[in-house]
Structures are given as structure tokens and as C-alpha cells.
Amino acid sequence: MNTDPIADMLNRIRTAKAVSKPAVNIPYSGIKYEIARCLEREGFIEKVTRKKKQSLRFLRIFLKYEGGESVINDIKRVSSPGQRVYSSKKDLSAVKGGMGVSVISTSKGVMTDKEAKEKGVGGEILCEIW
């Protein structure tokens, strides 16, 4: 069993993208749903839906492709259970020269680095996507 559910989510997205799957199912959690919503707002995925089959809850993430190519070049975990990575609002840096985004867990919820700068908050850097 993977002890890092966020890393598992990112791996499932990366694998689905590699084989050009239109969608991927991920076991549900509130934090994973919020991360997926950030990716949807930033245009990296088509949409995310919450589903329930019998007693199992899961997320269905629809990947986004343009010209047959995934809009996601890469996605990586930054903070992990054994190595937390935090950043203050002034130290949040652009990902890939502004071509990507960081997803950050703040005291005001999960948001992108751009949203965190606007709201003047820092937090734990969960992942980067470009």
C-alpha cells in the first residue's frame, strides 16, 4: 500500500497520460478533489467528477488533449509525508517560467501558486504541473 495518496494520484494521472487514456479513476479524498479542481481551473484537465459505486467513492478525472497530445507535460510531487516543503507568500516562484503551476495547501484551502500570491498566503507545496 502506498503511504502517499497524493503521489499515487499523480502517478495514475501520469500513467493515463502516457497511454493516452481519456479518463482515470482515483480513490476519493477531499484533498485529491481540491487538487484536481485546481488542475481543472488551470486548464490541465478537462473536468473532474465525484462518483460512487456501491460503497466506494472515487474521482473520475478527464484528461485534456490538444492535437492528440496531452496538455500535461509532466506532473511531480514536491512535498511528501517524509519531506514537507513549505513556502512563504514572498518565496513562491514560477514553475517553468510561468508555463506551469504549483498546487499549494494553505490555511485558506488548496489553491494554485498564483491564487496564493493574490490572497497573500503561503503554505505546503503539494505538487507542480507543467
CA 58 to centroid of chain Cα atoms:
15
What the chain holds in terms of domains, given with CATH numbers, is: 5-129 (3.30.1490.10)
Q: What is the pLDDT of residues 5-25, one digit of tens each?
A: 999 999 999 999 999 999 999
- The residue written with cell numbers 517553468 in the block is 96
Q: What is the pTM of this model?
A: 0.93
> 38: how many CB neighbours lie within 10 A of its CB?
25
| pLDDT band (50, 70, 90) for residue 94 | confident
**Cell matching residue 103:** 498546487
Collapsed DSSP state (helix, strand, coil) of residue 111? strand
Three-state SS string across 38-101, please? HHHHCCCEEEEEEEEECCEEEEEEEECEECCEECCCCEEECCECCECCEECHHHCCCEHHHCEE
Grid coordinates in use for 62?
478527464
What Å distances lie between residue 98 and 51, 77, 128, CA to CA?
33, 18, 11
CA distances from 61 to 10, 100, 126 (A): 11, 19, 18
Give the up-direction half-sphere exposure of residue 70: CA atoms within 13 A in the CB hemisphere: 21
Residue 111 scores a pLDDT above 70: yes
Quick: pLDDT tens for 19-54: 999 999 999 999 999 999 999 999 999 999 999 999
